[in-house]
Structure 1
Amino acid sequence: MYLFENPVLQRELLVNLRTKRAFFLLAIYQILLAAVVLIAWPTDERLDLSSSPPSATKLVNLFFLGQYVIASLMAPSFAAGTITGEKERKTYEMLLASPLRPGAIVLGKMIASLTHIGMLIVGSLPIIVLCLPLGGVSVYEVLAAYLGLIVSVILFGAIGVLSSSYFTRTASSLVVSYLAILPLVMLAVLFWNSLSADGDLRLKLAVLVFPAFGLSGVILMGAAAAGRMLYPPDVGSEGKEVIDLEKEAEEAVGLVIQPDQFPDRLFAPPKKQELMPDGANPVYDKEIHSEIFSQGTLMLRLVIQISMVLAIPLMGVFLFFRAEQAPWFSVYVIVFNMLVGPVFLASSMTSERERQTLDLLLTTTLTPTQILWGKFVVGFRVSAVLTGFLLWPLLLGSALNHMFWTNLAAVAAMFAIVLMVCLVNAVVALTCSLFQRKTSIALLTTYAVLLFLYVVPVALSTLAKTLDFTEPTSEMLGWTGVASPFAALFSLPLDTNLVKDNPAVNQGNLPIVLGYFAFSATLLVLSAIAMVLRLRSRRGLSDD
């Protein structure tokens, strides 16, 4: 019942592995890893295989790091919708009424969601086997790395399933899963790199210690998810949870959101107690007062608490102890907005489709601009306020640390880059929501677009520097940084008060910074035009 005769597992495996997406994803995954190996393959005419050539070591480390990051990003996308998908398809109530035990349901969901990623990991073995003859890593280190990778994927999948049991929307489950997984990925990468000199210790920790703690966490989170299904909260029609905001506030652990007080009313205003004034945008009024709290405050409370817990140590490290690395704190703020910001806009139009109210909205007297503006302002307001909470440490650090006083222009540019990121993320999410039919697909599409714009240029530039590409090639790849706020942050000029190791003033790279703002502004304009034209044509928007 739990494994071999589990109907949930059998059904999920058939549905997931027979889709075109499964084969397409496997092909893309293999192509990406093969491309990393091909680009990073040593160009030396002769390699001394007896002394572990540095170029081969770089290749293997780059391969493992790339695969770990890709698998970590993919695990929540499969697991975070396992239970919320049942709620969205309105089959959760029937699942609870079935004779299956909650543990069997959770186990079947978890195994089915991670089987596809397991196939991807196993499929990468032939690629790493090609790298072994070059030296730089032993077979035991390869096995330890794959063991750590498999345990990490299982742990991240358990986090996704646990989040999925607490939320009613896949988007909320996905963003909380990513926020919980982010510090774990950072710690794992730091652990692997910091112990690179001591291979024996790294091998023992990866084989003995990490799997024990990881699998213990998996068991605990699986038991918690099963317990929530065994004693589910009150559900109404179609399996929708009945949420009492007053009771939720009384039982909340830690932060409590109070809509009638500052600053909570900025991102979660109280429900309306009076009629809407004349001339107001009904789309904005409905979204800001009804949609935010329609599924409770759990997601908002978790997002705020997790982000602030991570921000405090990062503030101490990057704004005081290592102030020369201050842009890294802004990187954290941007990553937070990348994960959280799209959640409030990726469902703007797809939710109308899912509720079958899009046709009604399109037949009103509202213009496309009014509809889009109302949807955009609500999502941007919430994401910008939540991101603004993380900018207070940057403002506080620049005020208290005298080394920033001569770099106020760079600090102001950091704020401007974060603001532009909030705008771009919101517009991209709204555009994807308009061109997709399901919220989960719109959110994953948004993440894919943002990763391509923000991470790929930096990865290409770093790869060029690591592998000593020719100067024209490195310069050409460096110009791709105009699409990435990360490249713009590290191109800001800093003086000797911050950059102590450099006797001369760090001039930075202002063309990259200015190019980023120009590229982002162009992207905003083109996306707005595409959305307006899409709504005006109404082709493909009707449910019929």
Structure 2
Amino acid sequence: MLAGPLVTRELTTDPRKPKHFGIRAGYAAALTILVFTGAQATFALAPPRGLGDISRFGVFIFNLLSFVQLVVVLGTSLLFTAGSVAQEKDRRTLILLLMTDLRSSELVIGKAIASLLPIFVMILVSIPIFTLLTQLGGVTFEQVVWFEALCFVTALAAGSWGTLVAYWKEKTFQIIAITLMGAGLFLGAVEAVGFLGGESSSLAMIAGALNPFRALGDILNPLTSQPNVVIPAVQAWPAVTGLFLLASGISIWTCLRVRVWNPPRTIFIKSEESSAVEKTSEESGKEPSHVRDSRTIWESPIIWREICTQAYGKKVGLIKGAYFAFAVACIFWLRQIPEETTFMLGIISAPGLAFTLLSLISFILINAQAVTSLTSERDGQTLELLLVTEVTAKEFIFGKMGGVLFNMKEVILVPFLFVAMSWMRGEMNMESLIFIIIGNLTLVLFATALGIHSGLSFENSRSAILNSLGTVFFLFIGIFVCMILIVEARSSFEMQFVPFIAFIGGGSLGLWMSLTHKNPSTALSICGLILPFMTFYAIVSFLLGNTAAVLMAVLFPFGFTITAILVPAVSAFDVALGRTTTDRG
């Protein structure tokens, strides 16, 4: 009754869509392949010699799958809910929903649950697979139940936050960026409160209950939180209750404010300005004059609009400020790490992990602005107008890319300053510094080009945003999983390559489908094939300490992909949009 017709519509129409069955089958297949890959990498050279080895593998693969699923649930819940409402705003259909007799709870809760239905399907699909892992030993059924409950309430909390931001803000880039950065800063603030209050304080317990990753650690390692108990009880009710109450509180606040925030005040301001101009012109008997003086436009109007106008809203500085706050939090975190700590998770140093997190967030923000710069043109029905002007495809594409890089210059610069500080402290040599800067710049250009490509390839704005951000997100999740599996295997890298074929092949298939969705080409097909394999080679080279090989494995395949995306895009609008001239007639 709280959700209303919006959820009813999704429940009725969703089973008719092929993607509904694709999500179910694809996610189950991905988890199964990951289990198989982990088993082959662990037992390829040393078969299990008893139940102890099998149970240890069961614990390892359960821990890995649990972490991956929680990250996927959190990330996709934020993007799905924020993207769903943002699409309604871009298409001007939210005003139509506000004009109906839908209650505020139906607008907020109904929209959130309707957007989260694919996430709930993924969680339900994973239950049989996680239950089967209990047969290996080392994992109990109670752990599976509490973990799935944690994923469910995490999706609700993340979806509530994404819905709040989407109804609150107007611009799509602001919605996505504030949603992602807000979730990250919330987790950081929760950990900071727990650290300042002391691990045994009640404040730390309350704050820890709002961090799903801390709750996951308690589920996976109950002895850590209950060291004095002979048989620890596996439970996560504080986290489940806390996250559910958090989701309820956010949803209630959104319900109270949704009709205050929407329609935005800018609509009424424009209406009042137009009325004032018409009234003044009628009284004076003169033609209405312009409210604002004209501005000088550059020779390239596209990049002028991206740089000199508030195309992405007035609060972009707030997003950059949140990113700077996250960078400062990383510095304080590094100061708390003991000096004797060598590698985090046995893979990477603490400064390297902080740099990786900063770079990943910067790539996501850059990619989000790149893809929304195209979807906003399409939803605002200005893209078709550009096709009949004298603006060439080259000016349009490079103007959009230049605007993205200029507007995100601070976000691009922060990781470089971070790694330069490590070089000044003597933690790396000049060669590594140069290699990191070149590789990072290559990935920045890749994130920008991928966003432009997705915006041109997908007619649906929500699909374009989810496809573009999802490609960046899952690319780095795949890198993390590969590194964990390689470290766990502790055997020859040549012997490990064969078990990883299925895992990497799945990534190649997904990337190929993403790149060649509307405008397929041989070059893009090659990119989809070689990128995951070269990424695997870069991981192996990194773990072996071969920095030059890592740079080559990043520079050439990603550089080739950037070229394969940009060459057809700057040739002509017809090629960039994947259609023929007759389609425009």
**TM-score when scaled to structure 2?**
0.74
Matches within 5 A, 1:455-466: 455-466=477-488
Equivalent residue for 1:491? 542
| Secondary structure at 1:364 match in 2 | coil
The question of whether the paired residues in 1 share the 8 Å contact of 2:170 and 2:264 is answered with no
2:32 maps to 1:11 = no
Amino acid corresponding to residue 352 of structure 1 in structure 2: E
- Counterpart of 2:561? 523
| CA distance in structure 2 between the partners assigned to 1:488 and 1:128 by the alignment | 28
**Equivalent position of 1:374 in the other structure:** 399
**Residue 282 of structure 1 pairs with residue 301 of structure 2:** yes
Tell me whether 342-351 or 466-475 shows the greater mean CA deviation. 466-475
* Cα distance between partner residues in 2 of 1:463 and 1:425: 26
Equivalent of 1:363 in 378, 385, 388: 388
Deviations 1:78-136 (A, max 9, x none): 21134333322322223223333312321222222223311221121111222111101
In structure 2, the CA distance between the partners of 1:205 and 1:419, relative to structure 1 (3 Å rule), is farther
* 8 Å Cα contact 2:91-2:379 kept in structure 1: no
Kindly indicate whether structure 1 or structure 2 has the higher relative contact order, using CA contacts under 8 Å at least 6 residues apart: 2
Q: Which residue of 1 aligns with 2:30?
A: 32
Separation in 2, partners of 1:413, 1:205: 46
Structure 1 residues 200 and 481 mapped into 2: Cα distance closer, same or farther (>3 Å)? same
Helix, strand or coil for the counterpart of 2:557?
Answer: helix
Do the aligned partners of 1:343 and 1:443 also contact (CA within 8 Å) in 2?
yes
Separation in structure 1 between the aligned mates of residue 376 and residue 107 of structure 2, nearest angstrom: 27
Superposed counterparts of 1:186-225, under 5 Å: 188-189=212-213, 192-193=216-217, 196-199=220-223, 201=225, 207-225=236-254
Q: How many corresponding residue pairs?
A: 493
Residue 483 of structure 1: CA displacement? Answer: 4.8
Does the C-alpha gap of structure 1 residues 91 and 196 become closer, same or farther in structure 2, counting only changes over 3 Å? Answer: closer
Instruction: Find the counterpart in structure 2 of residue 419 from structure 1.
Output: 441
Q: Report what 1:94 is aligned to.
A: 96
Identical columns (%): 17
Matched to 1:331, the amino acid is T
- CA shift, 1:165, in A, is 1.0
CA 1:465–1:343: 2 relative to 1, 3 Å: same
Say which is worse superposed, 372-381 or 50-59, in terms of deviation: 50-59
- TM-score between the two structures when normalised by the length of structure 1: 0.79
Structure 1 pair 233/368, CA: closer, same or farther in 2 (3 Å)? closer
SS across alignment from 1:140: helix
- 1:532 equivalent among 551, 562, 570: 570
Which of 458, 461, 468 in structure 2 is aligned with 1:439? 461
1:168 aligns to what? 170
CA contact (8 A) 2:218 2:236 kept: no
Structure 1 partner of 2:512: none
Query: Is it true that 1:304 corresponds to 2:334 in the alignment?
Result: no
Q: Hey, what's the Cα distance between the residues in 2 that align with 1:452 and 1:463?
A: 16
Change (3 A) 1:119 1:199: farther
Q: CA deviation at 1:332?
A: 1.6
Query: What is the rounded CA distance, in whole Å, between the counterparts of 2:416 and 2:293 in structure 1?
Result: 30
Question: Match of 2:369?
Answer: 344
User: Deviation per CA, 1:334-378, whole angstroms, max 9, x where unpaired?
Assistant: 211222101221133333332333333223333321221111100
Q: Output the aligned Cα RMSD.
A: 3.6
List gaps (5 residues or longer) in structure 2.
189-210, 227-231, 272-291, 343-348, 505-529
For the Cα contact (< 8 Å) 2:83–2:176, is it kept in 1? yes
Cα deviation 1:14-69 (Å, max 9, x = unaligned): 34443222222222111111111222347476664479731221122122122222
Q: How many Å separate the matches in 2 of 1:482 and 1:46?
A: 29
CA distance in 2, matches of 1:489, 1:188: 31
1:540 Cα deviation after fit: 2.0
Partner SS, residue 213 of structure 1: helix
Call closer, same or farther: CA 1:379–1:480 in 2, change over 3 Å: closer
Q: CA deviation at 1:328?
A: 1.6
Change (3 A) 1:214 1:47: farther
Higher helix share: 2
Does the 8 Å CA contact 1:60/1:136 hold for their aligned counterparts?
no
* Residue in structure 2 matched with residue 514 of structure 1 by the alignment: 552
- Structure 1 unaligned runs (5+)? 245-270, 493-505
Determine if contact 1:72/1:185 at 8 Å carries over to the other structure: no
Mapping 1:51-62, distance limit 5 Å: 53-62=55-64
Distance in 2 of aligned mates of 1:423 and 1:116: 31
1:472 is matched with which residue? 494
Whether the aligned pair in 2 keeps the contact of 1:331 and 1:486 (CA below 8 Å) is: no
Asked if the contact 2:54/2:137 (under 8 Å) is kept, the reply is yes
Q: Distance in 1 between matches of 2:534 and 2:268?
A: 42
- Work out whether residues 488 and 513 of structure 1, in 8 Å CA contact, stay in contact via their aligned partners in 2: no
Which sits farther off after the overlay, 136-145 or 97-106? 97-106
- Structure 1 residues 465-489: Cα deviation after superposition (integer angstroms, max 9, x where no partner): 3245654133676997785599579
Residues 84, 164 of structure 1: 8 Å contact kept? yes
The answer (yes or no) to whether the contact 1:454–1:484 under 8 Å persists in 2 is: no
Which AA in structure 2 matches 1:27? A
State which drifts further: 100-109 or 131-140.
100-109
The 1:480/1:282 distance shift into structure 2, 3 A limit, reads: closer
CA distance in 2, matches of 1:408, 1:472: 30
- Larger deviation: 463-472 or 416-425? 463-472
